Structure 1
């Protein structure tokens, strides 16, 4: 801890447990955390913290204080399609239900209202950063600024027209303009979002690779989501999608590969050699029967693995605590090993690993002095969490998201004793009902 300043801190939080994540997830007891100017300025024993002056002091005697969760992949506005097309195979779901609905309903107003609904849900369940890949990202940016949440906007790129544009030239023009507009934002970064190998051709992929390298920007792409995707690619090109993307220059340490539900050992070796990040979406993969990502194999290969919820249209919730639990349980079944994906690693996937994947681990993802104060407090006092032998286990393996009581982003309190401070929950619910009525034809 640095020498104590004579100036008061903005917020001083005493908690029963503090889980810093770095250097590890070992809980600290009898400790406090101090925030000044949006940053963590001290993490110290409670007895020493009692001597600090603070504008606000919170004593959370039954809570865990931990980094805010990082949802590394989703389609926020699709929350307005939640439950609209359940129990369908992936390509049926996309081709016969989702894409027609998007063509009919998606515009800037849909994205604004859908994003606000998603962000409210994420803030109430512990997420402080999310990555979004969807149409009208400029509309999403407006809501993100209003909510005060941290985000990566991966602007979508296809080889065909969509609600947002006419084709690759249009998408790239709009996306790069958005990146220029937001280049000084403290909360929003902009990444390239080529949708998938089966919707983006070689010429466009190469352009994305070149432009992203020139801009030093991240790339997020759906990749190896199903075995059918791979079989179709091999039949058409003679190459597995990962091999093709490697040859096109798209893979690298700023590439975020989403799903990876159908991998062989050579695929894993390739991803590791290029330093790519994996974004695991266990619940969406299960719901669409997409496959089982070999997360433990990737972990042992040294690949950084984050967690995403995907959109609420293919998952039905954006609860990252639930995703952690699913990832840990599914990882054990896939590996055939009860020791695979232990609780502390699942927690790291949803915090520091997510920050690494999004290229912001120098800012967030762990509770360290000098990092920005993106953190949450979770109440472990209720019956569903008793008795507490290991708070990390309780966070990962019990139904905990409704126990998130406080959330700070850059030191700003965006959830105060369970209540949103930047968004109007009742208004969001009312607008969601209006969209449901319109879409269902009532």
Structure 2
């Protein structure tokens, strides 16, 4: 198993984080009632014909949390543990995340309760097209724009884009982001989340006076975000001493060769068996002494029962909700500097916004231009959050939530209520 995740209700945790930030902001009850809860929740039953001819029914969801600042934006995940409350939590976090980096989107999220590791490509395509048909009334470039998430990818987005376009009768590339390049995808999108994580770690190290070159790093979750962040940190001279994935972990106190490890992962699908490294359990990985810990897996990986064992100076949340509120308090008491998820991993949605803009304009940018724009957005957002932290003497999570919630609250106040 990848994580030592406890069973926590992600949506309840999201609401706790909201209340903590709203209290510091002094948000009135009327505004809280308008922005705290999802605007729209859709649960659908998705029948799919499997390769053996039988029909299987899958439960699936699409949640639109807020449209106060623009269309809904958020990924679709395929995972056997997907629940409605999880999707509601993720949609909520997406609202604040988009506002933190100041892009004109609201939060949304989707999920299908399935095990894609035990489904063929044909079954996944049929599932995706049927799910798209079920949520069709909710999505569109001007309404709600899905993207890849856990166990979905650019091919999944291509199927969604094609299904939506066939229903409309013309190509609509802007209905999703994270598409293949030849369907209107953006350069730099695949690296965006990990690159955003890297930029915020750079900022944190600068603020703390911690040299990035030579810093020891542990990455929990060697998927897209975790591997790209590890690659960029390695290239910057940091020493990545341990990583793990859903089946195994590897450790070398002198540092891992990340490009070679990424090559092994691309060939075998796992990090197990990497030369010049020893196996490590998920529990021992989180407890390693290091400068920077990057939790890049699923929610609630660090909780009240294991937070005290974390020995990192900086925790950079590449995943959504990897720390519970109780873990936050433990780490804050230990003096750990936390880069919260709605800031740290916002690179993905930022470049998704860039992709949507390019699709709508029918004009595409160069890769370096995208990286430069992303770096500017992420570093401005980090400094905005840091200023709130220092001015209000709150932790980084509350500061980030204050920034995001405050911007959404301002939009709601200006727009008013209809009718």
Same fold, judged at TM 0.5 (above): no
Give the alignment's TM-score, normalised by structure 2.
Answer: 0.31
Structure number with the higher strand fraction is: 1
Structure number with the higher helix fraction is: 2
Structure number with larger C-alpha Rg: 1
